[in-house]
Amino acid sequence: IQISKSFDFTKAKKNTYYFIPPASARGTEFLLYLPESYTKQQRPKFLQDLSKKFASVRGVFKTAHANSSRPAVAFTGTNYYINAKMVAGKQPGANKGNAFEDVLLADFQTYIERGCPFNAKNYKYPKFMEEFTNMIAPEKVKSARKVGQENTPRPLGMTGDQLYVSVRGGARQTKIGAALSDIDVVTNKRTIHLSLKYGTTVTFMNAGVGKIFPKDKFEKNSDASFDDMPMAMAIFKTFGIDPVKFRKVFTDYVEPAPGQKKTKAPKEIKFFKADRLKMENLIKTAIGYDYMLCHLDNKGEIHIQNMTEQYLRQAATLETEKVQINYPIGGSAKRVDMVVETKKFTLKWNIRNKQAGRYPTHIMCDYVMK
């Protein structure tokens, strides 16, 4: 084990672990960055084993802080701790959704080439394969191919003051399965598009807004308005966002000091009665149809939803015209959320920065299925 104040990970030797005291540690806490192969479950075990090596210097495996779910090696009689983090010097890790794509494709190949029975010996996702083939029966799967290599841009578009989510900046359309597809499955009758979603935060659309809400509008004097930005105004109108409150969320944001305890952002919650037709027309283009939504959840289960034109009609129908708008106050967070309830989904629209900055770069539509 090497201890270093600042260490260049690109020059790190393999199989060596490094202690990095972060700025926030104030000399009492060490963070141990483990290789990516250590999962959340393996970290406590690693620390437990490590504590044995420190037994002679009173190192004890325990939960380091009250209200913390993260275990650590604590040194009794001192305020020194060793905490474990996941990836060397980084925050979020690699994209495991791509792996899901490959594994599912391999399952299809197994089925096409060898027609194996649906069990865990033959498939990574036997339940999915069985359910899918039953769903499309009597159609037969002939081939499957990966088509999701490219990130199809889906920027916001407008006709009049009607917002829509486009495909590559094109005209309004809702039959967008081909554009959303990650894997195409060809049967004896047609091509079925599979849109694969992975994890707990799932999103229908995620469009850039850097040009819709220009940075200088925030950085200029406080009375700069978005009146001359038609699409910004259309977004405000569709979701009932107050431009002044919106702007203030981002300009007032206060960067937390290193080591400062984060608290849940207090919010000013407002309600707005949406124009049903406008909102539903927007949602229809965000969700779209002509594909199958395949979601691998955090418990390893895949759920399939056939996104037909008929289903989309239900999915886009507002349960209530009431939209909830959340404005974080006092510089507590840099995002504005708009919650829309439809008959099939809770849609969590949000405008925020996704690129380690302050001002909005994206509008997203996260969803939870009902």
Partner DNA sequence: CGCGCGCTGATTCTTGATTG
Partner DNA sequence: CAATCAAGAATCAGCGCGCG
Contact set for DNA, span 329-348 (CB under 7 A): 332-335, 337, 348
Q: How many other C-beta atoms lie within 10 A of the C-beta of residue 266?
A: 10
Q: CB of 45: closest distance to DNA in angstroms?
A: 11
The CA distances from residue 254 to 37, 149, 209, 329, in Å, are 35, 38, 22, 10
Contact set for DNA, span 139-178 (CB under 7 A): 148-155
Closer residue to DNA (CB): 118 or 362? 362
Closer residue to DNA (CB): 217 or 352? 352
Q: Which residues contact 19 (CB under 8 A, 6 or more apart)?
A: 1, 2, 3, 4, 30, 31, 32, 82
**How many residues of this chain interact with DNA, rule: CB under 7 A?**
69
Return the residue of 94, 103, 244, 269 that touches DNA, per CB under 7 A: 94
**21 contributes a contact to DNA by CB under 7 A:** no
Closer residue to DNA (CB): 100 or 108? 100
Q: Which residues contact 121 (CB under 8 A, 6 or more apart)?
A: none
| Binding track, positions 35-74, relative to DNA; x by CB under 7 A | -x---x---x-----------------xx--xxxxxx---
Closer residue to DNA (CB): 118 or 253? 253
- 24 neighbors 259 (Cβ within 8 angstroms): yes
Return the residue of 11, 13, 37, 93 that touches DNA, per CB under 7 A: 93
Strands (E), 288-361: 291-296, 302-307, 322-328, 335-341, 345-352
Q: Which amino acid is at 33?
A: Y
Distance from first CA to last CA of the chain, Å, rounded?
Answer: 49
Rounded to the nearest angstrom, the gap between the alpha carbon of residue 214 and the centroid of all alpha carbons in its chain is: 24
Q: CB of 115: closest distance to DNA in angstroms?
A: 28
**211 contributes a contact to DNA by CB under 7 A:** yes
**100 contributes a contact to DNA by CB under 7 A:** yes
Return the residue of 173, 206, 305, 317 that touches DNA, per CB under 7 A: 206
**247 contributes a contact to DNA by CB under 7 A:** no
Closer residue to DNA (CB): 61 or 118? 61
The burial class, CB within 10 Å (0-12 / 13-18 / 19+), for 347 is: buried
Question: DSSP string of 283-296?
Answer: HHHHH-BSEEEEEE
Distance CA 50, CA 211 (A): 50
Q: CB of 129: closest distance to DNA in angstroms?
A: 19
Helix (H, G, I), strand (E, B) or coil at 40: coil
Return the residue of 202, 229, 304, 329 that touches DNA, per CB under 7 A: 202
Which residues of the shown chain bind DNA in the complex (CB under 7 A)?
A: 36, 40, 44, 62-63, 66-71, 85-87, 90-97, 100, 148-155, 180, 196-203, 205-211, 261-265, 267, 298, 326, 328, 332-335, 337, 348, 352-356, 361-362
